[in-house]
Each structure stands twice: as C-alpha cells, then as structure tokens.
Amino acid sequence: MTLIYNHTTSAITMAARNKHELLPEFDRIVQKHGTCQQHRKYQLGRTIGEGTFAKVKLALDSTNGKYVAIKVLDKHMVQREIRTMKLLNHSNIVRIHEVIGTKTKIYIVMEYVSGGQLSDKMSYAKRFSEGEARKLFQQLIDAVDYCHNKGVYHRDLKPENLLLCGKGSLKISDFGLSALRKPGDLLSTKCGSPSYVAPELLVNKVYDGAAADVWSCGVILFELLAGNLPFDDSSLMSLYRKICRADYTFPKWFTESQKKLISRILDPNPETRITIPKIMEIEWFQKDYMPSCGNNSDDKIHLDDVNAAFDSTEDENKQKTRIGSKLTINETIKKIEAAAMDVSLSVERTKNLRMKMHAKQIMNRCSRSYVDISAESLSSQLREEPAVSTQMQEADVVSIQSQSIPKKERPSY
C-alpha cells in the first residue's frame, strides 16, 4: 500500500497550493456507509495506493492541518492488521493514529509518508549504490527484527510495501498478511508475492515465519544492488523451481562481501539460513550502522477502542436461515411450535414476532434459545388473522435468525 509520512502544513497553505485539487468533505464521501462524528475531522482526497484488500486515501486533518493517509477496508478484512499495528511502535514502521468504524467500513488513520513506495524509486533509479542499499537494508532488518521480537511476522515484504520518507528513511507498511505467533511457533498459511516468497512456502509444510521474512529481505537486498530480481520467469512454475533451487546469478559488479551475505540469506534450507542476529554481526552490515529505535505501543490507541469500531454490526455468530412456505405465517409458527415439542422444548411468543424456546423441565440461561422471526411486509397482516394462501407469494417468505438451536433435524415445510 502507498502510505506516506506525516507532513505538517496549514490548511490554508494546502488549499492555495492545490487550488485545482480540492478535498471533498470526509463525511460526505462515506455517507452511504453510515455516519460518525469523527468523519468531520478529516477531508478525504485522491487515492494514493490500492492493494488486494484496501485503498489508501490522502486526507487532511482539519484540526491541525497535517496530511494523513487513511486506509479504507471492509471490516472482516481489517481486524488482524489493526491488532498487529497496535503492537508496533518503531521509527521504520508506519504508525497508526486512529481507527474509525461505520456500519460497513473501517478507516485506519496512519502517518502520511511523502517519499512513496520503494518500488517507484527502484523503477527509475535501476540500482542503488552500495551505501544507499546498505542503509535501507539496515533499516529494514531493524524493523523486521523488532516485529519478530513482538511475535509479528510480516509474510509479504517487498518494495511495494516499503515506503520512503522525505529524508530517505524506510518504513514498512501493509500488515494485512501478517501473522501473530509466539517465538518458535510454525505457520501453515501460504501467502506472499511470488518473486519474494521463501521456498518453504511453496511446499505443503509448516514453516518458520522469521526465516521466511529473512528470505524476502535477501531478495530485496539483491534487487537494490542489482537493479533486477534474483528470481524471475514468465512461467510461474519455472519461477518456483528457481526459488526452490536458489537458482540465481550475481551480477559482475557484486563484491565478495555482498555475495557472501546474500548467499547465506538466500539459502533454500530455512534451518541453515542465516538469522537476523547473525546478519547484524556481518562486517558488511555493520559499516556506518546506526540502529533504529523501537518503543512501546502508543497509549492513545486502546484495544477497547478498536473493538468498538466493530460493534456496530450484527453478531456474526448468528445463524440465518430463510425458508419459503405456502402456509400462512401463523400456520408456519404452529409447525415450529410442534417441532419444538418433539425435542422437549416449549415456545413462548413475545412482541415483534420473536419467540423464545427453552427446555420444558429446566429453564436456565445456558439452555435458552432465541428464534427471531421477521416476516417481510407482514406485520400488519399478523395483527389480523391472515387467510390461507394456496400459492407461493413473496410475502410468505419468513426470515429466521436463531442462536444455539438444538442440533436436531429441523422440520421441512
């Protein structure tokens, strides 16, 4: 995703400089997704990044005139990334400022990084000098090491997910495919981008997330120094064969120190592949090395606030069943009552077409079940005794929502 560093400027200056590119009101943009007082805080602008699961919008914080980047995702896609990013506070990792939830969307407010994606710079810079590549690699390793110490494995490290600040510093973004595990735990989900994926992810085995991230870092270092990928092929299967065999060739300008380090990183055997602590001891890595700092998570962002962003939707654990019947609503309800008796349940009718089902002998909180029956366009008919319908009508469709209904065969109508 393209996220770009926080850049301070006044709202007036920004408006004057971008006279032809006015930012629309944030709450007007998301009106169709629901309302939230916090929306008025931001003015949403152009799309600056787009990935598999999300879009990133440039926005203006109207309270302080700062640019921010806002990632917009569907709720069921975003929970892992929010929880992961809450754990991370490092100078080389994109920061999360705020989380806003509506009925259907989650808005993650993050720092705006002005240098764009590393991949963009690589597309026109071709290859980097040894000093530039080493500096970026040092920052990448520092950030990845910090993540691993927090139990976070990115699993999709590539230049498109590495952002550059105005001063050339690197920041990792897009933790949408990350995994949160205890040190030593193995992973099984196969994910990542083909050219950067570790060989152990291409076979049907569990793998070490730390070793997989190290491999991706090695591919990135090779690309920085060479200007091209170590593994590349128009055929995906041929590409995977090259990765599994570590079949690549060093350009003639690579030094022996560079070759030695990359060879130890691009080891197809994850058990003998060099680890991050060992990488940090390498003489080539140590040159002009200035360790990046990591801090504790931001106290302003609480897990309760993140959870609250998801509370506006209905309980996802509810089972929903739709049935069609030629019977009237009352006749259908009577059949449900009869079926409940067969499994030793009694039925109590309440308001709004809701029924409570509970055991006849003992009624307690854990054995009670609820069945919500909502008949579309039939509330007025139910107050009167509806006539028997001999044909299937659209109004005869009954929507049933149930929780913990006993798992016995339900009646057919």
Produce one character per residue of 226-261: b if its CB has 16 or more CB atoms within 10 Å, e if not: beeebbebeeeeebbebbeeeebebeeebeeebeeb
CA angle 83, 155, 108 (to 5 degrees): 35
Torsion angle of alpha carbons 107, 108, 113, 114, nearest 10°?
10
How far is the first Cα of the chain from the last one, in angstroms, to the nearest whole number? 51
For residues 148 and 93, is the Cβ–Cβ distance under 8 A? Answer: no
71 is in an annotated binding site: yes
308 conformational bin, left if phi > 0, alpha if psi -120 to 50, beta if neither = alpha
**What DSSP element (H or E) covers 106?**
strand 105-111
Which structure tokens are listed for 348? 């109590």
Helix (H, G, I), strand (E, B) or coil at 250: coil
Active site residues: 156
Q: What DSSP string runs through 346-394? A: EEEE-STTEEEEEESS---TTT-EEEEEEETT-HHHHHS-PPPPSS--G
Q: Which residue is associated with the tokens 């070793």?
A: 211
Packing angle between helix 209-226 and helix 130-149, nearest 10 degrees? 170
Q: Is the dihedral of CA 138, 139, 142, 147 positive or negative?
A: negative
Cα–Cα nearest to 170, from 130, 227, 118: 118
Interatomic CA distance for residues 186 and 181, integer angstroms? 8
Cα–Cα nearest to 159, from 224, 95, 90, 98: 224
Residue numbers in the known binding site for ATP are 71
